[in-house]
Each structure stands twice: as C-alpha cells, then as structure tokens.
Structure 1
C-alpha cells in the first residue's frame, strides 16, 4: 500500500490526522479548534468537514490502488446534519465499488458520538504521470 497523508501538505496545514487505513477503508480525524476552524457563525466552517471527508475518501481508495495508479475526486454529495463544534471530528470512509476507471466511496463524520455529516462520492482512477496505462 502506498503511503498517504504524511506527505500531503494540505492535510498537514488543516491538522488532519491519519488514524487507520487499509483494505478500502480509511479513518481520519481532526481536532476542531475555535481559533483555527470556526466561521463567524460560531461553528466549524463547512469546508473543514468536507476536506476531512474528501481526504479520507481518497485514502480509502488509494489503499486499493497499484503504485502506478492515482485518483482524483470527480464529485461528492455532502450532507451536513449537525453543526460541528470544538473537539475531535472523525471520518470513516469506505470504498463501496471500484471499477477500472471510477470508484464510489461513502463517508460518515462523527463528533461526540453523533453523526454530523455524510458524503458519497465518485473518484476517477488513472495512470500516475510518467507511467503507461
């Protein structure tokens, strides 16, 4: 399985943390901080949860890909169920179906034992630059 997360500067900048990854699943987390992640409305900016889900979903898929394959988000349907406050936000992502060129991935985000968001997305699978198809 190719490495994921530790060398991803965007994830590091947000404070995303890899918890567990393998076999088409990925769990990631972030410690939501009022000073860093909140919007003026007094809750975490929606992009925090979305970025966590998108990154975990990519992590789930790349755990199944060959070293000469990459993936990219095509679309994600994201649902916000409850506001995200300070504290640990965890995302559990799972590949539901993987074809030759497209994969479908599901994600659930939890905070303080409560489902706060859910997502389903399609990701493209393609040869890494410099490799043959």
Structure 2
C-alpha cells in the first residue's frame, strides 16, 4: 500500500489520516480526543468510527477505479463491539467483491490492538460527471 492524503474538509475537520491505500485495501486512522470526539457519556461518538470506516471503505474502492469513475456509499451495516476511548483508532478496509456497478467492502476498526467495531457495505460505481 502507498501512503496517501485524504484532502477534503470533512476529513480534516474530524482529523482523519490516510495511512496507506492500494490494490483494493485502505488503512486510515484518527487520534481520538475527548474534547473533539466524545459524546456526553464520555466515549467517542459512534459517528467518529462510522465516518472513519466509510471513508476508508471508499478509499479501498477508489484504489481500484479508473480516473473517470466515482463511487458513493449505498449502505453500510455497522457493528459497535466495545466503547472507543481516547487514543489512536485504526481502520483496515478491503474490497471483497467489485462488480461493474456495485462493490462490497468490509472494514475492521482497532484501538490498542482490540477489535472495537466492524462494518460491511455496498458502494455504487458510476461514471464521473463531466465538467460543462
């Protein structure tokens, strides 16, 4: 896998970091901190893990797409296994199947070597819009 940058405002606002991407795989991470990412119950908001997984899953798929193709999330089944605390949260995503129009991707999220969440999703594949 090659290092990469996730350069869009939403990723920067959350603190998502690209670790590596290529051949239908993507690894991303976030350094979870209480001030920015916690819910009122004192754990990371579930949307932090979900956003990390969704972005990594898209990164895994885009590593297989042609330059004139885009993708978008159709659905994700997300499982929260244990709470996420402060510290590094890492997501490993991999394309399980790529068809012409839909791909199936899985993701596993780890903190301190422990599986904290997992996901499976379907993503649409389509032609990138052309500029006028």
Q: Give 1:9 shift.
A: 1.3
Alpha-carbon distance in structure 2 between the residues aligned to 1:23 and 1:130: 26
1:21-60 correspondence runs (5 A): 21-60=21-60
Alpha-carbon distance in structure 1 between the residues aligned to 2:109 and 2:40: 22
Alpha-carbon distance in structure 2 between the residues aligned to 1:19 and 1:32: 16
Q: Which runs of 5+ in 1 are unaligned?
A: none
1:40-119 correspondence runs (5 A): 40-119=40-119
Aligned pair 1:126/2:121, yes or no? Answer: no
The answer on whether the counterparts of 1:5 and 1:11 sit within 8 Å (CA) in structure 2 is no
* CA-atom RMSD in angstroms: 1.4
Deviations 1:49-81 (A, max 9, x none): 000000000000000000000000000000000
Structure 1 ranges of 4+ moved more than 4 A? none
Alpha-carbon distance in structure 1 between the residues aligned to 2:5 and 2:62: 11
Q: How many residues align?
A: 129
Q: Which runs of 5+ in 2 are unaligned?
A: none
